[in-house]
């Protein structure tokens, strides 16, 4: 039987209370949200916190999807199921529903949170790739106040983020830019499993129907999931056609660093990175055109 090491447990009553507890308890304290990443690691003794600060009572404070000006803001305690079901989010960012449909299973989605998924910083985490693709920014809070960091700075590498010891991720902010849409696709070995490879794409067209901007974020093919700036540079000004998307696919395959493991060979994962990049860009384009023609 796998059992975590003995520990103390505190239930935070607000974000301010959670930060106070983290400050008081010191470096051996860890936040627990849905627990779907932390508890398995504790059972395997890969994580051995002396104190857990449970933030589940903060769902009222930090569980939301709301539009504020030209941003959609999502609280860190928003659960996978809520992201899946949110029409407000789907209107601008269908990529979330694409991703949430293939993340784990209902028990994990009922409990796991956006904040936990991002702070876990597993390079195979689907929402990390989604938020990178969308050029999200993250609000991190400590006892002195909030700071806002872009995803590129938030994610520092596998299992490492910009969130410090007595700090919390509070909110994720997604910029709404006109003329765009987005999509996500994943290949897994069985339904709801972790990705062999996955790709997210966001595309914006100008008034002539050419590509104004494009971003691609990959999952499970190496430590770097950033928006692949070479793809953005190569696509700007092009027609959104198969030729352009082929170029993007080739760049995606070249820029990732997959390893051969039980999920597949490095060569197969590179092939998937190219193919999923092509497909998600095409889906994003089709969604833009469908909206312009009043079909969506
Ligand atoms: C069976 C199974 C299948 C899965 N399949 C997938 C999959 O297909 N794709 C996928 O992407 N993921 C998958 N996951 C992972 C899961 O979706 C997320 O990792 C999980 O939901 C993380 O969220 P959580 O709220 O459970 O985080 P927790 O486990 O509670 O926390 C994870 C880490 O984040 C920290 N943390 C949590 N919230 C905050 C906060 N607000 N501020 C600062 N630090 C915080 C914790 O201290 C901990 O270090 C799977 C998990 C399981 C158990």
Separation of first and last alpha carbons in the chain: 51
- Tell me how far the alpha carbon of residue 27 lies from the centroid of ligand 1, in angstroms: 20
Residue 150 has pLDDT above 70, yes or no: yes
Residue 225 has pLDDT above 70, yes or no: no
Classify 180-291 by CATH class: alpha beta
- Tell me how far the alpha carbon of residue 116 lies from the centroid of ligand 1, in angstroms: 4
Residue 1 has pLDDT above 70, yes or no: no
Kindly write down the DSSP assignment for every residue of 1-26, as one continuous string.
Answer: ---PPP-EEEE-SSHHHHHHHHHHHG
Residue 22 has pLDDT above 90, yes or no: yes
Domain 59-175 has CATH 3.30.465.10: yes
The radius of gyration computed from the CA coordinates of the chain, to the nearest angstrom, equals 19
Across 156-169, average pLDDT: 96
Please enumerate in sequence order all residues whose Cβ is within 8 A of that of 251, keeping only pairs 6 or more positions apart, or say none.
Answer: 228, 230, 231, 234
Q: Taking CA 70 as the corner, what is the angle to CA 199 and CA 111, rounded to the nearest 5 degrees?
A: 55
| Rounded-to-integer distance, Cα 52 and Cα 16, Å | 16
**Mutate-to-test residue for ligand 1 from 117, 129, 163, highest number of ligand atoms within 8 A of CB:** 117
Domain covering 8-58: architecture: 2-Layer Sandwich (3.30)
Residue in the block written with tokens 């507890």: 21
**Mutate-to-test residue for ligand 1 from 36, 142, 263, highest number of ligand atoms within 8 A of CB:** 36
Q: Give the start-to-end residue ranges of the domains of the chain.
A: 8-58, 59-175, 180-291
| Rounded-to-integer distance, Cα 145 and Cα 160, Å | 21
- Tell me how far the alpha carbon of residue 5 lies from the centroid of ligand 1, in angstroms: 20
Across 75-94, average pLDDT: 98
């Amino acid at each position: 039987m796998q059992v975590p090491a003995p520990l103390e447990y505190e239930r935070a009553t607000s974000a301010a209370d959670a930060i106070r507890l983290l400050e008081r308890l010191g470096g051996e304290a860890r936040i627990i949200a849905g627990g779907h990443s932390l508890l398995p690691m504790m059972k395997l003794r890969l994580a051995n916190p002396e104190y857990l600060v449970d933030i589940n009572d903060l769902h009222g404070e930090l569980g939301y999807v709301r539009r504020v000006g030209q941003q959609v803001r999502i609280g860190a305690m928003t659960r996978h199921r809520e992201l899946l079901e949110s029409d407000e989010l789907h209107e601008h960012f269908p990529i979330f529903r694409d991703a949430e449909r293939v993340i784990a299973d209902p028990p994990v989605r009922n409990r796991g949170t956006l904040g936990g998924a991002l702070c876990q910083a597993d390079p195979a985490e689907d929402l990390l790739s989604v938020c990178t693709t969308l050029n999200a920014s993250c609000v991190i809070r400590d006892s002195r106040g909030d700071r806002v960091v872009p995803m590129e700075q938030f994610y520092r590498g596998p299992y490492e983020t910009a969130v410090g010891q007595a700090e919390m991720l509070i909110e994720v902010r997604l910029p709404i830019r006109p003329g765009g849409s987005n999509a996500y696709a994943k290949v897994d070995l069985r339904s709801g499993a972790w990705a062999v490879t996955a790709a997210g794409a966001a595309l914006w067209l100008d008034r002539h129907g050419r590509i104004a901007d494009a971003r691609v974020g990959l999952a499970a093919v190496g430590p770097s999931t950033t928006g692949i700036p070479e793809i953005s540079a190569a696509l700007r000004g092009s027609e959104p056609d198969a030729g352009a998307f082929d170029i993007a696919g080739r760049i995606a395959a070249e820029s990732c660093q997959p390893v051969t493991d039980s999920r597949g060979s490095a060569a197969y994962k590179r092939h998937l990175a190219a193919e999923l990049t092509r497909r998600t860009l095409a889906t994003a384009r089709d969604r833009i055109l469908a909206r312009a023609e009043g079909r969506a």
